[in-house]
């Protein structure tokens, strides 16, 4: 019986990995034929791990799936998750009784998210190549019988470095603005909506104005690692503007997935 479970798990894992690469297979094949793979195709290629890695490109495919979309778990403490996480990722309480240096997400809490389905596809990530949190929770998931677990071990640092914005939660935005006077708020709405009311210190930069904003002072050109929060009429508008800003070499861009009005209400 144990062998059957192991074989079933292997089949599920193979299916997951195949699904994640299918959208980018042609591009990856062309890169291999004509030269080294690009950074987005890379992994750490570590040996001896109980769960395999996926690349940034495979993570992009996973997030874009409409069918059999995997559960993405940010394996960091909530405070880190709230300030910047991969869009759509979820966070759970820590495994009790561990010191902070051995922080691990609680598998019991993850089980609640998948209704106990050990065959559910799960992707875990944390703070990049040297972070052990994703490895620990992935190992715990496998020990608990989960058959469909992979790691995006390059994590949030590489996700950002390759031009992807992160998502921020409302309480983390307000807390950061209270503490960090260098943080920049970009409001991507039309000028009339911005002028009707926005966050303190906000700067109005529409999607089509990003290049211009680099020259007129609205974007912090002398420190591309400045924390930038992007807000809009809704999450889609904020995300689009955040993506454009990130693609202009700003390394610390996050967006709010709700509306400006809902963010302002959360302060009250």
Tens digit of each residue's pLDDT (9 = 90 or more) over 214-228: 999 999 999 999 999
Query: Of 160, 193, 218, which residue sits at a domain end?
Result: 160
**Domain identity same for 137 and 38:** yes
Residue 37 is classified by DSSP as P
Which residues are within 8 A (CB) of 67 and not within 5 positions of it... i.e. 6 or more apart? none
C-alpha 75/C-alpha 8 separation (Å) is 26
**Domain identity same for 180 and 207:** yes
Whether 98 shows a pLDDT value over 60: the answer reads: yes
C-alpha 110/C-alpha 112 separation (Å) is 5
Per-residue model confidence (pLDDT) at position 112: 98
**Domain identity same for 133 and 220:** no
**Domain identity same for 130 and 241:** no
**Domain identity same for 156 and 74:** yes
Angle at 71 between CA 65 and CA 72, to 5 degrees: 95
**Domain identity same for 22 and 135:** yes
The confidence band for 122, taking pLDDT boundaries of 50, 70 and 90, is very high
C-alpha 41/C-alpha 31 separation (Å) is 9
**Domain identity same for 141 and 192:** no
C-alpha 13/C-alpha 149 separation (Å) is 7
Radius of gyration in angstroms for the set of CA atoms belonging to the chain, rounded to a whole number: 20
Count structural domains, the chain. Answer: 2
The confidence band for 63, taking pLDDT boundaries of 50, 70 and 90, is very high
* CB burial of residue 130 (10 Å; 0-12, 13-18, 19+): exposed
Whether 76 shows a pLDDT value over 60: the answer reads: yes
**Domain identity same for 123 and 12:** yes
The pairing of strands 166-168 and 184-187 is: unpaired
Query: Which residues partner with 85 through β-bridges?
Result: 167
Query: Of 133, 160, 187, which residue sits at a domain end?
Result: 160
Per-residue model confidence (pLDDT) at position 38: 84
CATH number, domain of 86, equals 3.40.250.10
Per-residue model confidence (pLDDT) at position 153: 97
Whether 21 shows a pLDDT value over 70: the answer reads: no
**Domain identity same for 30 and 82:** yes
Range of the domain at 240: 165-267
Residues constituting the chain: 268
* 3-state DSSP percent of the chain in helix, strand and coil, to 5: 45, 15, 45
Tens digit of each residue's pLDDT (9 = 90 or more) over 195-251: 999 999 999 999 999 999 999 999 999 999 999 999 999 999 999 999 999 999 999
Whether 14 shows a pLDDT value over 80: the answer reads: no
Cα torsion at 94, 174, 130, 55 (round to 10°)? 100
**Domain identity same for 145 and 76:** yes
């Amino acid at each position: 019986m144990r062998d059957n479970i192991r074989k079933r798990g292997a089949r599920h894992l193979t299916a997951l990995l195949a699904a994640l690469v299918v959208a980018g297979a042609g591009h990856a094949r062309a890169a291999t034929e004509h030269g080294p793979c690009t950074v987005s195709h890379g992994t750490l290629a570590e040996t001896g791990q109980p769960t395999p890695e996926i690349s940034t490109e495979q993570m992009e495919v996973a997030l874009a799936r409409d069918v059999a979309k995997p559960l993405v778990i940010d394996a960091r403490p909530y405070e880190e998750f709230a300030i910047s996480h991969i869009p759509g990722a979820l966070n759970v309480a820590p495994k009790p009784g561990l010191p902070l240096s051995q922080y691990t997400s609680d598998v019991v809490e993850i089980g609640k998210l998948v209704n106990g389905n050990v065959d559910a596809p799960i992707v875990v990530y944390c703070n990049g190549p040297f972070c052990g949190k994703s490895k620990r929770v992935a190992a715990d998931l496998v020990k608990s019988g989960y058959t469909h677990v992979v790691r995006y071990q390059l994590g949030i640092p590489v996700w950002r470095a390759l031009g992807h914005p992160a998502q921020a939660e409302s309480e983390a935005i307000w807390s950061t603005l209270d503490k960090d006077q260098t943080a920049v708020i970009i409001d991507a709405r039309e000028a009339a909506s911005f002028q009707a009311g926005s966050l303190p210190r906000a700067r109005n930069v529409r999607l089509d104005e990003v290049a211009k904003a680099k020259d007129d002072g609205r974007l912090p050109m002398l420190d591309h690692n400045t924390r930038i929060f992007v807000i809009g009429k809704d999450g889609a508008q904020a995300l689009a503007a955040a993506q454009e800003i990130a693609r202009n070499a700003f390394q610390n861009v996050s967006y709010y997935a709700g509306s400006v009005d809902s963010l302002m209400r959360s302060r009250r």
